[in-house]
């Protein structure tokens, strides 16, 4: 875990513990063996730059996934503090629950899940709901219009 934006410590003092739990449950959900991943907790400005460089989108996003090169390193995740907080507030969810959801979401991307097509999106959403249930957190898709 790399905490680049100090605001993360204030908002989620136990972010490392929560990220580890969410990633481990996501890996168990997919049947993958344990693998290492790095999580960067950054700000919106850095995330905007990363999103522009790697996806051609000139805006910050909540989470980005970067697949690893093998050797037991699954990949890297980056999360933007401002985006995560705004989304959590808009959804009426605690920041920690939204953070765990995004860690699970990013981890699922690293093991090959995607949501570009409707069937893929439904499978990924169901997997995320199961992961959060196992973490004792609410289903992030309950009450979301289809």
Domain extents for the chain? Answer: 2-134
The pLDDT of residue 78 is: 98
CATH-assigned architecture of domain 2-134 = 3-Layer(aba) Sandwich (3.40)
Asked if 95 and 8 count as a contact pair (C-beta separation under 8 A), the reply is: no
Helix axes 95-110, 118-134, angle to 10 degrees: 130
The pLDDT of residue 33 is: 67
Question: What is the rounded distance in angstroms from the CA atom of residue 115 to the CA atom of residue 17?
Answer: 27
The pLDDT of residue 5 is: 95
pTM of the predicted protein model: 0.92
Question: What is the rounded distance in angstroms from the CA atom of residue 62 to the CA atom of residue 139?
Answer: 18
Percent of the chain with pLDDT over 90: 74
pLDDT in tens, the chain (146 residues): 999 999 999 999 999 999 999 999 998 888 776 678 999 999 999 999 999 999 999 999 999 999 987 778 889 999 999 999 999 999 999 999 999 999 999 999 998 888 777 788 889 999 999 999 999 999 988 865 44
Q: Which residues contact 121 (CB under 8 A, 6 or more apart)?
A: 115
């Amino acid at each position: 875990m790399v905490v680049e934006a100090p605001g993360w410590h204030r908002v989620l003092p136990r972010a490392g513990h929560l990220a580890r739990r969410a990633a481990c449950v996501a890996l168990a959900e997919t049947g993958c063996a344990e693998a290492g991943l790095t999580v960067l907790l950054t700000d919106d400005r850095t995330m905007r730059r990363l999103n522009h460089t790697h996806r051609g989108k000139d805006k910050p996003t909540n989470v980005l996934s970067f697949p690893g090169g093998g050797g037991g390193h699954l990949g890297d995740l980056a999360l933007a503090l401002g985006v995560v907080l705004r989304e959590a507030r808009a959804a009426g969810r605690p920041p920690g629950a939204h953070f765990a959801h995004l860690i699970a979401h990013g981890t699922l991307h690293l093991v090959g899940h995607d949501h570009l097509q409707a069937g893929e999106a439904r499978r990924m959403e169901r997997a995320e709901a199961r992961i959060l249930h196992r973490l004792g957190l609410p289903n992030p898709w309950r009450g979301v219009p289809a």
